[in-house]
């Protein structure tokens, strides 16, 4: 009988097909990791450049409007300008549902098509504004100087003509006789205590606004896990439509009763707080949709708060510091106030383990933090109102014209447009503060 022969000792190592495949897979995984890191780096760089480019747009437009209107009447105009953001947010929510259907078209993902088309529109509008918008109003009969690169751009039409130009020239003389500013003027703006309550007001409402904008679909999905991406996009749009409606309703009244900016700011913030609490605690397992109603309340309350904050900044700093005060204060309030968006974007809805647990308590701590920073905004508005009442807001230095401010001391209206509005329409103060 033959005996089976066995070989003792180590088996020689042979590179088989499986090992080569494993090695290839490991190389592919490493390559994918490198590609992901490269994409993240490029995305972060582009996002940084985008922030740098658009940083001055919002405060710049708030300042630009003060060249055409008295600060006491810029609330409605800033609000109308700000509605573009709400319309955009609503349209993006609706249009993104369509872009999701374009996945794979031309070898691109749906969001890439959205970025390309939106970028193209932005480039076209950006170049057209060089012709569309005049730099500032000119005295009646004066033509703009065609120097430098202006020679190569079609001449824009005057902002005002005829009787309108003459009335504007008489009412807002400061616009036509601006003085050169110095670094000490800029330093005086930064040292003015009135800047910081406005900054904290902006910090709270913008933080909540960006947080809701970024995580609206996340919050909505928490109410119903079965919703598709298209349905989530469609449900996010009404939040910004409510935002738009509130701007159009509230900001005109805040101009008519411009001595009560704190009131017209704080009431919408209270509506936001009520909406966030409703989003956190309302509804049941069987009927979670009252939480969505809370999001609609948040959208309505968000609308007027940012335009009113920027308008109050104009109204406070124009009589004290002139144009440089409005420009610098608007930039600081908008720039540093946007730190609130960093808090809500990177710290909330991702930080607590309890927020990640499914159920009615999901995201509860994040929404309560937003309630807290909104309370900070209300407190800042109250402090600002009291300090202006007891300390005042008199001019820091002599202005070029009495038309350079809306008020000098308590209740004294000195620009012609605001004075005429008060005489013709009878709007000034609310009934409990009339003397």
pLDDT in tens, 261-319: 999 999 999 999 999 998 888 777 777 788 888 889 999 999 999 999 999 998 899 88
User: Domain residues of the chain, as ranges?
Assistant: 54-131+198-427
279, 219 in Cβ contact below 8 A? Answer: yes
* Tens digit of each residue's pLDDT (9 = 90 or more) over 328-341: 999 999 888 888 87
For residue 7, is pLDDT > 50?
no
Which pLDDT score is estimated for 430? 53
* Tens digit of each residue's pLDDT (9 = 90 or more) over 179-233: 777 888 888 888 999 999 999 999 999 988 888 877 777 778 777 777 777 778 7
Nearest partner of 291 among 216, 369, 355, judged by Cα: 216
CATH number for the domain whose boundaries are 54-131+198-427: 1.20.1250.20
Structure token digits, residue 345:
């974007």
Which pLDDT score is estimated for 381? 96
Sequence-distant (6+) residues with CB within 8 A of 244 are 83, 86, 87, 90, 303
Which pLDDT score is estimated for 421? 56
Q: Which residue has the higher pLDDT, 4 or 38?
A: 38
**Residue 407 bridge partners (DSSP):** 413
* Tens digit of each residue's pLDDT (9 = 90 or more) over 129-187: 877 777 777 777 777 676 766 667 677 777 777 777 777 777 777 777 677 778 888 88
Nearest partner of 364 among 253, 247, 266, 219, judged by Cα: 219
Which pLDDT score is estimated for 28? 60
Q: How far apart are CA 257 and CA 426, in angstroms?
A: 11
Q: C-alpha angle with apex 380: 350 to 337, nearest 5 degrees?
A: 50
Which pLDDT score is estimated for 382? 95
Which pLDDT score is estimated for 350? 63
DSSP readout, 105-155?
Answer: GGG--HHHHHHHHHHHHHHHHHHHHHHHS-SS---TTPPPP--GGGGGSPP
């Amino acid at each position: 009988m033959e005996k089976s022969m066995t070989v003792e000792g180590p088996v020689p190592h042979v590179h088989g097909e499986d090992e080569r495949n494993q090695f290839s897979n490991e190389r592919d995984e490493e390559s994918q990791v490198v590609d992901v890191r490269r994409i993240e780096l490029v995305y972060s760089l582009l996002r940084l450049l985008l922030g740098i480019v658009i940083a001055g747009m919002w405060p710049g437009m708030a300042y630009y409007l003060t060249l055409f209107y008295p600060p006491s009447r810029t609330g409605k105009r800033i609000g109308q300008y700000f509605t573009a953001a709400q319309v955009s947010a609503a349209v993006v929510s609706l249009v993104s549902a369509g872009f999701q259907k374009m996945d794979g078209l031309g070898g691109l993902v749906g969001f890439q098509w959205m970025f390309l088309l939106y970028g193209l529109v932005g480039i076209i509008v950006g170049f057209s504004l060089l012709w569309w918008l005049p730099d500032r109003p000119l005295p009646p009969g004066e033509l703009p100087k065609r120097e430098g690169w202006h020679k190569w751009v079609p001449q824009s039409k005057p902002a005002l003509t005829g009787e309108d130009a003459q009335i504007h020239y008489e009412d807002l003389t400061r616009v036509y006789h601006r003085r050169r500013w110095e670094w000490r003027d800029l330093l005086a703006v930064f040292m003015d205590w009135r800047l910081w309550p406005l900054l904290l007001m902006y910090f709270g409402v913008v933080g909540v606004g960006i947080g809701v904008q970024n995580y609206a679909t996340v919050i909505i999905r928490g109410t119903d896990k079965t919703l598709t991406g298209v349905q989530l996009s469609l449900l996010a749009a009404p939040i910004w439509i409510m935002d738009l409606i509130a701007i159009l309703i509230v900001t005109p009244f805040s101009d008519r009763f411009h001595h009560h900016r704190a009131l017209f700011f704080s009431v919408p913030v209270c509506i936001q707080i009520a909406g966030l609490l409703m989003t956190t605690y309302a509804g049941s397992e069987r009927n979670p949709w009252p939480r969505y109603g809370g999001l609609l309340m948040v959208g309505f309350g968000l609308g007027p708060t940012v335009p009113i904050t920027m308008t109050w900044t104009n109204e406070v700093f124009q009589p004290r510091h002139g144009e440089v005060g409005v420009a610098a204060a608007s930039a600081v309030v908008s720039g540093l106030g946007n730190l609130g968006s960093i808090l809500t974007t990177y710290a909330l809805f991702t930080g607590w383990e309890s927020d990640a647990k499914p159920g009615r308590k999901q995201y509860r701590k994040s929404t309560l933090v937003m309630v807290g920073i909104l309370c900070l905004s209300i407190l800042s508005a109250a402090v600002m109102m009291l300090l202006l009442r007891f300390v005042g807001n008199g001019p820091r230095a002599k202005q070029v014209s009495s038309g350079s401010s809306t008020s000098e001391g308590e209740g004294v209206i000195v620009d012609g447009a605001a004075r005429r509005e008060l005489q013709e329409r009878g709007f000034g103060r609310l009934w409990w503060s009339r003397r």
